[in-house]
């Protein structure tokens, strides 16, 4: 097994493993059919900790908060010392509860969401608290002040953002500097071999500003495994029910990328999922891709991908079939 490496999250002093375990997969089947219930999920936390993964990402919206509960209990039982793990969660979408202030990035919503997440996680503080999307209906200063107050109150250690336009993120950074608000240290963005639009503005911005990049869906929701069908769906439960992936990744050019990925994987003697992840890891701007796994062999594949070094020729071959996309994943 490849020895886990640890890197700083952007310019912060926080050190995280090169892979982050995404936990949207763990929660309640009432939320999504392909989600694993708690007892099914626990072996993945055990395996992650054994492999040296110290970085775990969840959100209040995942399974309506059940994912946070599972994360909290698993890490309390298995991690040993709280200070040995980095727990990240998010606010914006809420848990599905009704009410006009139950979601978004107002001060009221952020404060209530943080307290609720802390309770579900069973923690005194959150290591990385992220805004899940950009809120056009709330002044940026209000959002930043609320997040800064959470840090100063000791409820949050660092703050991060996710999936927005480069100009929006730059404005947040500028306002933080102007008013003395706490600064974002990370960007969780949509980035993989079939969606590379982040390379235009967001990735260069993060490199210039010292922001850690922790991409979500680095394997394109399983599309890059090479088992999706052009007529729709695939062989797994998630592939058969994931309408979002079908709306995002099923263009002819996407299948051309997936086919090329399969070709390179065969050449290297590894799986297509591994070459897709290795390609993301090879980007020097990327800190730690967020991987979601529902089968233990998938976990072994992800860990082994850390040891795959793609040649310049292989990277060029993987990238050649790509065609521009409309923006995917923002609001």
Neighbours of 293 (CB within 10 A): 22
Q: Tokens 């209990």: give the residue.
A: 73
First-residue to last-residue Cα distance in the chain: 39
What is the phi-psi region of residue 258: left when phi exceeds 0, alpha when psi lies from -120 to 50, beta otherwise? Answer: alpha
Where helices occur in 97-139 by DSSP H, the ranges are 107-121
H helices of 12-165, where?
A: 38-51, 66-78, 107-121, 140-152
User: How many residues does the structure list for the chain?
Assistant: 331
- The rounded distance, in Å, linking the Cα atoms of 95 and 30 is 13
Read off φ and ψ for residue 35, nearest 5 degrees.
-70, 145
The dihedral built from the CA positions of residue 110, 115, 119 and 125, taken in this order, carries a sign that is: positive
List residues with catalytic annotation: 62
User: 165 and 205 in contact (C-beta within 8 Å)?
Assistant: no
**Beta-bridge partners for 86:** 55
Angle at which helix 296-305 crosses helix 272-281, to 10 degrees, equals: 40
Query: Please, which residues have CB within 8 angstroms of residue 124's CB and are 6 or more apart in sequence?
Result: 118, 154
């Amino acid at each position: 097994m490849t020895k886990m490496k640890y890197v700083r999250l952007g310019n912060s002093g926080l050190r995280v493993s090169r892979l982050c375990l995404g936990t949207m997969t763990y929660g309640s089947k009432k939320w999504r059919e392909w989600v694993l219930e708690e007892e099914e999920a626990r072996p993945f936390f055990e395996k992650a900790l054994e492999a040296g993964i110290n970085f775990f990402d969840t959100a209040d919206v995942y399974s309506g908060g059940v994912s946070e509960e599972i994360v909290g209990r698993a890490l309390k039982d298995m991690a040993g010392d709280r200070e040995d793990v980095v727990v990240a969660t998010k606010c914006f979408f809420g848990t599905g509860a009704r009410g006009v202030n139950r979601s978004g990035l107002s001060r009221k919503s952020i404060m209530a969401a943080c307290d609720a997440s802390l309770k579900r996680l069973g923690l005194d503080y959150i290591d990385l608290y992220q805004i899940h999307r950009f809120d056009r209906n709330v002044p940026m200063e209000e959002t930043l002040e609320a997040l800064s107050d959470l840090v100063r109150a000791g409820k949050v250690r660092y703050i991060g953002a996710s999936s927005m336009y480069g100009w929006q993120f730059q404005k947040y950074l500028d306002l933080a500097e102007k008013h003395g608000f706490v600064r974002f240290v990370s960007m969780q963005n949509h980035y993989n071999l079939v969606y590379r639009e982040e390379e235009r503005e967001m990735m260069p911005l993060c490199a210039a500003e010292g922001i850690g990049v922790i991409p979500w869906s680095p394997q394109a929701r399983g599309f890059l495994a090479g088992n999706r069908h052009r007529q729709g769906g695939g062989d797994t439960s998630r592939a058969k029910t994931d309408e979002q992936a079908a709306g995002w990744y099923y263009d002819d050019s996407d299948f051309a990328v997936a086919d090329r990925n399969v070709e390179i994987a065969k050449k290297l003697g590894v799986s297509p999922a591994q070459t897709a992840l290795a390609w993301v890891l090879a980007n020097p701007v990327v800190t730690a891709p967020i991987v979601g796994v529902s089968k233990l062999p998938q976990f072994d594949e992800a860990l082994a991908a850390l040891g795959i070094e793609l040649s310049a020729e292989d990277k060029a071959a993987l990238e050649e079939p790509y065609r521009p996309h409309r923006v995917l994943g923002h609001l």
